[in-house]
Amino acid sequence: MARSSMKGAAGAEFLSRFSERHNAAEILTYLDNAQYLKVLVVGETIIDEYQYCEALGKSSKEATLALRRLSTEKFAGGIIAVANHVASHAGEVGLVTMLGEVDPQEDFIAGKLSEKIKPRFVYQSGAPTIVKRRFIDSSSFHKVLEIYEIETALAPEENDKLCGALSETLPEYDVVIAADYGHGMLRKEAIRLLCSQARFLAVNTQSNAENHGFHTISRYPRADLVCLTEREVRLEMRDRQSSLRDLVMEVAARIGGSRIAVTRGRKGCLCYGRGEGFWEIPAFTTQVVDRIGAGDAFLSLAALCAAQQAPMEVVGFAGNAAGAHAVKTVGHRQPAERGLLFRRIAELLRARGDGAASEEVQPLKSQGRKVALLEPAPNYQA
């Protein structure tokens, strides 16, 4: 049963209360109406490479673990994963990303892109396309070590080319999703363009091993939807102890953000909307295979719903449903496709609090109308 994958009585209680306020048809309508949106995704391309290994034991001469490589699997991650999630739902998808001139891996990346995506590549000289290579114990799927191939220094002329590409493409789209992994692509000039020209701007600034402490959401003076982990919120505020809700309110005030979603792993997510208050949505699965890419899936679906004026409780619900799919998938093998996500949401809401089954659900008919977009925050003035 759908509810068995949640945390017992607490999850069932949430679904019972949620289904009194929102039904599956309403949620599916937001996802279905995404087909009328033109969405631009912006951020770094990352090749996630998994080296599956067998542990041999401790080296006889050094205090190191010896591994035997068995096989390799490559995924098109970073903004490519976001683009593919979005392309499963949106009508038109544009992509602005940066590849390295040294070993760009463009053929591999192009082969992993949905046919719906219109890519625009900018190239970084003297650098490879970012690769994050993970060595994984094949028997336990435990990640033993990560090695990054990365160069964060962006030449001024490359930054100018990127800004030129953004200036040309931003006016063409209803929604802009910036997945900023903090590896040097989006400097202050590009951020200024995103904040001043995007009609609706959704942003994630990821904290990771390469940028820890140097990359937080305050780099963006405007965003209409902010998606962060709890750790990223606390890093922004330099505060480990205070109430998360208090910190979210402070982040919202700093960037003029009206909507913030905070992902919390197995605790689900905390969502805030100005005029709505706070909503807590539990995680929709306890079956975690691989956490890589879960945040990308959450951001993608949350942004599509938030741009259509969906209540923040619905935004968090849709994001968590996408994230639950992602953590049950190795790497980026399968995006949160329309059919899969529709079925998952219908399963979650099929049973009411009394356990009675409801009829099959379908999105409400939009009759081909253009969806109403959320009014963006007051434009940031460069």
| Residue 81 region by backbone torsions, left for phi larger than 0, else alpha for psi between -120 and 50, else beta | alpha
Separation between Cα atoms, residue 167 and residue 189, nearest integer Å: 11
272 close to 248: Cβ distance less than 8 angstroms: yes
Question: Which of 190, 197, 195, 200 has its CA nearest to residue 171?
Answer: 197
Query: Tokens 């929102």 sit at which residue?
Result: 22
| Residues whose CB is less than 8 angstroms from the CB of residue 175 and which lie 6 or more positions away in sequence, other chains included | 37, 38, 39, 40, 90, 199, 200, 202, 303, 304, 307, 373
Separation between Cα atoms, residue 244 and residue 238, nearest integer Å: 12
CA distance readout (Å), 49 to 42, 73, 76, 382 = 21, 6, 9, 39
Would you state the pLDDT for residue 243?
97
Say how many C-beta atoms besides its own lie within 10 A of residue 108's C-beta: 13
Torsion of CA 158, 90, 33, 339, to 10 degrees: -150
The pTM score is 0.90
**Whole-angstrom distance between the N-terminal and C-terminal Cα of the chain?**
52
Would you state the pLDDT for residue 373?
59
Say how many C-beta atoms besides its own lie within 10 A of residue 101's C-beta: 13
Question: Which of 312, 313, 321 has its CA nearest to residue 294?
Answer: 321
104 close to 45: Cβ distance less than 8 angstroms: no
- Provide the token pair at 63: 């205090």
Tell me the HSE value of 162 on the side-chain side, using a 13 A CA sphere. 28
Say how many C-beta atoms besides its own lie within 10 A of residue 318's C-beta: 28
Tens-level pLDDT at each residue, the chain (382 residues): 344 455 555 678 899 899 999 988 999 999 999 999 999 999 999 999 999 999 999 888 888 889 999 999 999 999 999 999 999 999 999 999 999 999 999 999 999 999 999 999 999 999 999 999 999 999 999 999 999 999 988 899 999 999 999 999 999 999 999 999 999 999 999 999 999 999 999 999 999 888 888 899 999 999 999 999 999 999 999 999 999 999 999 999 988 888 999 999 999 999 999 999 999 999 998 789 999 999 999 999 999 999 999 999 999 999 999 999 999 989 999 898 889 899 989 888 874 443 433 445 555 554 444 455 555 555 455 4
| Residues whose CB is less than 8 angstroms from the CB of residue 319 and which lie 6 or more positions away in sequence, other chains included | 227, 261, 263, 269, 297, 298, 299, 301, 302, 305
Domains (range + CATH), the chain: 2-46+78-128+155-350 (3.40.1190.20)
